[in-house]
Chains A and B, each alone.
Chain A
Amino acid sequence: MDRVAIVGASMTPFGDREGEWLRDLLAEAGAECLDDAGVDADAVDHLYVSNMASGELEGQTGVPNMLAHDLAAQPAYTARIDQTSSSGGAGIYAAWQSVASGASETTLLVGGEKMTHKTTGEATDVIASLTHPVEYKHGVTLPSFAGLTARLYLDSYGAPRESLGKVAVKNHENGVDNPKAQFRKEVDLDTVLESPIVADPLRLYDFCPITDGSAALLFCPESVAREITDEYVVVSGVAGATDTHVVHERADPTTMRGVVESSEQAYEMADRAPEDVDFAELHDMFTILEFLQFEDLGFAEKGEGWKAIEEGRTERDGDLPINTSGGLKSKGHPLGASGVAQAVEVYEQLLGEAGDRQLDEPEVGLACNVGGFGNCVTTTILETPEAE
């Protein structure tokens, strides 16, 4: 079977894009992606927009059709992919399906969100609206789920509080070298550990910011990719899975079943194992999530993930660099864009286009995009065409 390739990628600067709205951001990323691939908009058969809450945040619906018109991509088939914070990963899965099935020869995926015009409380409430009524009425938020889980993780596995802080320090350090990251400044461990408490034991620097931004990818069959360019990557594995909607019903709150299930399927599809992965972009909406995914993706035994940061394994010069882009923590987290932006980083690393944060000729990269508090997950494995 012809493999599915990615022949173009783009990402707007992430951050506070005052005066620019979702329409502007999507069009900016979409047009840049087509330019990157050297493909005209009229070649696009399917156009997907990954977005969580344009109606709730901006009062703008019908976004995919809007983007198709703005890019002159009609009559392309369009659809909006909403899977909360994992909308981007779900968009990758949908785009892969459209090409792999033969339904589309050229699929443009654009993820985006406009958030910074809302207060932190308002944005937090929009995100928390994904919760079950018995959770929502107690005022639970995604950050409070992180606090609950972090306390249990530290207590269960004897991990030091400082290890979580070191995740923030690492990802901020990586973000300095990403010209499109929201935060391009280093923070030291003391600053992290002395920042205001948000959801005890987690503090301000354990959390990602509220962000505007967009990112895009262009998919086609590998046979078509070879005709367009010498520089492309292949989607060797992609799969999605869910966990319980009600978070407290999970037998072990420190295990994300959606990560376990989706990665097992993605590894099988790619004929890969965790040890084959050269680097990964993980969904560090909260520092604790980097440990949970690191373990549930098979990179460490349960309860041992925190040791990787202590041993320097996940640093850019470690044996398994994590979040070279700066992660959601530093790069920013415009909900629907984040999963797409993770893959943009993997794409750029595999093609040697990551600038000052470039790794040494990686061949296999993984992106794990998490929605809710592990409620929905997509794991994607990208490779260079000649990866062994």
Chain B
Amino acid sequence: MTDQNDDTTDAETGHPEMTAYRYPDGSVTYPGHPRGPDGEEPVGTVDLSEYTAEVVTWTTSTATPPGVRQPNHLAIVEFDVDGRPVRALGQLETGDIDIGDAVEPVHVEELRDPEAGIREPESQAWDGFRFRPVEE
């Protein structure tokens, strides 16, 4: 099993993936955990970057920590994976957004400066997926 703390890269294509984890009871979480909601180990993965999501709520943060863009537009979004809701939090490309809007994940090489904050830079990945509104 891959590192459940981080997004991953497709071994064949080299494309970054927004990796959620599937458990025996059918539930899916992002990120993954050593044990899922049912107490069982994950049995598979889902690449959320292939899906669109709906904005559950959003904010624009103006008081950001060292190494974080200012302002920082953030959203909690919900994916529908085969009828299962899967939520994720991430940066937004724009603050021009509303609850219920459709968004798609877009890969970003570095979401914040790893050297500027309190967390050990080597302890986690710093690339990830920002959400972009989907043109209707």
Contacts and interface: CB of A to CB of B under 8 A. Distances in A.
A134 B68 CA distance: 14
Contacts of A143: 61, 63
B62 to A, nearest CB: 6
A137 B125 contact: yes
Interface string B81-98: 000000111110001000
Interface string A189-205: 00000001111111000
B65 A121 contact: yes
A216 B30 CA distance: 40
B111 interface: yes
A201 to B, nearest CB: 8
A242 interface: no
Interface of B: 5-7, 29-31, 56-69, 72, 74-76, 87-91, 95, 99, 111-112, 117-119, 123-126, 128
B57 A140 contact: no
A152 B55 CA distance: 10
Contact of B119 (A120, A129, A253): A129
A200 B6 contact: no
Nearest to B129: A138
A123 B16 CA distance: 33
A124 B111 CA distance: 18
Given A121-B66, A140-B74, A133 B61 contact: no
16 contacts: A121-B63, A132-B31, A133-B6, A134-B31, A137-B125, A138-B91, A138-B112, A141-B65, A147-B59, A148-B58, A152-B57, A152-B99, A200-B95, A246-B29, A247-B89, A249-B29
Given A137-B111, A138-B112, A197 B60 contact: yes
Given A125-B117, A134-B89, A139 B69 contact: yes
B117 to A, nearest CB: 5
A147 B66 contact: no
State the main secondary structure of chain A at its contact with B: helix
A207 to B, nearest CB: 9
Contacts of A40: none
A273 B94 CA distance: 46
B72 to A, nearest CB: 5
Given A137-B112, A148-B74, A197-B62, 7 more contacts: A121-B63, A125-B118, A129-B117, A133-B5, A137-B125, A147-B74, A152-B56
Contacts of B95: 200
A141 B128 contact: no
A128 B56 contact: no
Nearest to B3: A133
B58 A151 contact: yes
Interface centre among B5, B7, B64, B75 (most CB of A within 10 A): B64
A248 B111 contact: no
4 nearest CB pairs, A to B: A147-B59, A139-B68, A125-B65, A152-B57
Interface centre among A125, A137, A139 (most CB of B within 10 A): A137
